[in-house]
Amino acid sequence: MNLMEIANELVAGCRENRELANLDKLYAPDAVSVEAADMGNGRETVGVEGIKEKHAWFDSMFEMLGGTVGGPFPHGDDRFAVTFKMDAKNKETGEVSVMEEVAVYHVANGKIVREEFFYTGE
């Protein structure tokens, strides 16, 4: 797959709740995921299995009430960005908040090899 095929499929998967299936389809086995802040397990996660665990943790903590996915926004032939805006309810506290982030995806050899998330951390 080329950059835009990967980018478009990632965005479609996010919009259609196919994120987990796309991890196996779009990501290199040793892909790296980098958070803007340490949520208790360090900022970097290496490998698709670890990234799946991050998704499971997030799903255990938050109920998605709605949101939007913007993009993809290509940058050259090896990167693209996606914007996320999520209305989320903390399952422990019941607090509802709006989360916004920008994600930058790096592509090599037809796979996502690195993802970086930018957000305020509030």
* pLDDT tens-place string over residues 14-71: 999 999 999 999 999 999 999 999 878 899 999 999 999 999 999 999 999 999 999 9
Instruction: For the chain, give every domain's residue range.
Output: 3-118
Of 69, 44, 63, 67, which is closest to residue 54 (Cα–Cα)? 44
CA distance 120 to 10: 23
d(CA 47, CA 54): 11
Q: What is the CATH number of domain 3-118?
A: 3.10.450.50
Tokens 């309810």 sit on residue: 89
For the ranges 54-58, 75-79, 92-96, the lowest mean pLDDT is seen at 54-58
State the pTM of this model: 0.94
